[in-house]
Structure 1
Amino acid sequence: MSDQNAQAGNAPIFNMQRVYIKDLSLEMPNAPNIFLEQDAPKVEVNINVGANPLADTIFESTITVTVTTRINDKVLYLIEATQGGIFEMSNIPEDQLDPLLGIVCPTMLYPYLRANVADAITRTSVPPLHLAEVNFQALYEQRMSELAQQNGESGNSSESGLILPASATRQ
C-alpha cells in the first residue's frame, strides 16, 4: 500500500481552478453615423496566447483576441478581450509543460472567450459575430517553427520561450 501511496503522490496533476475575464474593451468610434452605411463589414481577427507562473505549481493561461470590424475603412467596432484561467499543474514532465500551456489550456478557455465576445457584440445592436474555432495545436506548432527559424535551428525546439518564460520553468 505504501508504494501505491508514493506513486499516487507523484502522479501528474492538471486542474483548471478558475476562469475569468481579465480584460474586455469595446469601442464604436464612428457611431452613430456608421449605422447609416450600407456596405458589408470586413472583419479582422487576431489571437494571442500567453502564460505566466503564479506559484510553484499554479499558472495563469490567457487568450487575447482583437476583432476589428470596418465598413469602407471606417471602424464599426473594435473589441479586445482577454480570457484568463488559473491552472494547477504538478508532477508534469518539463517537456510537456509548455504544450499544456500553449495548447490544452487555451483550448479549454476559448469557448468562454467566444461566448463573452459574442455577448458584448450583441449588446451593440450590430449583427452578432461568432468567432471561428481555433486549432491551438497548429498555432503552437507554427510558433515553434517560427522560433526555430529565428534561432537558426531546423525542427522544433522544446525550449520555446514563447508560451512560458524560461525563468518560469521548474528545475
Structure 2
Amino acid sequence: MAEENGADAQPQAQPQVKMQVLAQFIRDMSFENAVAQKGLNGGEVQPDIQVAVSLDARKRPQDHQFEVIQKFRVTSKNRANNETLFLLEIDYGGVFHIEGVPDEQMHPFLLIECPRLLFPFIRRIISDVTRDGGFPALNIDTVDYLALYRQELARRAQTQAPQTQPN
C-alpha cells in the first residue's frame, strides 16, 4: 500500500512534444540582378553580402496548428563602388501541427525550433536562385535562431522601458 501511495505522489510526467510539418511554401520571392539590368561594367567585383532575417508566427484556426514565416533579405554590393549586384527577398513559410508544448514556451518554440527545421530548405532555395540568377551559388551561414530570439526580446524590452518608467 505504501508503495502505491509513493508512486501516486510522484509528479506527472511532462506531456511529450509532438511536432509535424504539414506544409512548406514560398509566400513571396523577388530576385533582382542589378548587373544585368543596369549593364554595369565588368570591372573588379568584390562582393559584400548582407543577410537580414526576420520571423513571424501566428496561430491558425485549426487546433494545434501554427504558421511560421521567415523573411530573408540578401543584398550583394560591390565593395569597390558600393553598387548593388543583386537583391533577393524571400518569405518562406511552414505550417506546423504542435502538441505538448506549454503555453509559456510556445512563443520561443515557434520562433526558434520551427525556423531551425525549415532553414535547410530556404538555404537551398537561396543557393539555387542566386546561381540561376547569374551569380555563384550563395550558401548562407547557419542562422542562430536562439540568438535572434534573444535580440528581439532585448529590443522589445528596450523600446518598452521608457514608456513604463514614471516621470
Match of residue 124 from structure 2: 115
Runs of 4+ in 1 over 4 A off after TM superposition: none
Aligned ranges 1:99-114 → 2 under 5 Å = 99-114=108-123
Structure 1 residue 11 displacement after superposition: 5.0
Q: Secondary structure at the match of 1:34?
A: coil
Structure 1 residue 12 displacement after superposition: 4.0
> Which structure has the larger Rg?
2
Query: What CA distance in whole angstroms lies between the structure 2 residues aligned with 1:91 and 1:128?
Result: 39
Identity %, equivalent residues: 28
The structure-2 alpha-carbon separation of the partners of 1:35 and 1:20, relative to structure 1 and needing over 3 Å to count, comes to farther
Counterpart code for 1:150: T
Aligned ranges 1:12-31 → 2 under 5 Å = 12-31=17-36
What stretches of structure 2 of length at least 5 have no aligned partner?
Answer: 1-11, 163-167
Structure 1 residue 35 displacement after superposition: 5.8
Structure 1 residue 77 displacement after superposition: 0.7
What stretches of structure 1 of length at least 5 have no aligned partner?
Answer: 1-6, 154-171
Structure 1 residue 149 displacement after superposition: 2.2
Structure 1 residue 91 displacement after superposition: 3.9
Counterpart code for 2:49: V
Count of aligned pairs? 146
Q: Secondary structure at the match of 1:73?
A: coil
Aligned ranges 1:19-168 → 2 under 5 Å = 19-31=24-36, 33-34=39-40, 36-55=42-61, 56-71=63-78, 72-152=81-161
Structure 1 residue 83 displacement after superposition: 1.3
Counterpart code for 2:154: S
Structure 1 residue 26 displacement after superposition: 0.4
Structure 1 residue 152 displacement after superposition: 2.0
Query: What CA distance in whole angstroms lies between the structure 1 residues aligned with 2:132 and 2:16?
Result: 45
Over the aligned positions, Cα root-mean-square deviation in angstroms equals 2.1
Query: What CA distance in whole angstroms lies between the structure 1 residues aligned with 2:27 and 2:41?
Result: 30
Query: What CA distance in whole angstroms lies between the structure 1 residues aligned with 2:130 and 2:161?
Result: 42
Query: What CA distance in whole angstroms lies between the structure 2 residues aligned with 1:68 and 1:123?
Result: 16
Match of residue 5 from structure 2: none
The structure-2 alpha-carbon separation of the partners of 1:61 and 1:35, relative to structure 1 and needing over 3 Å to count, comes to farther
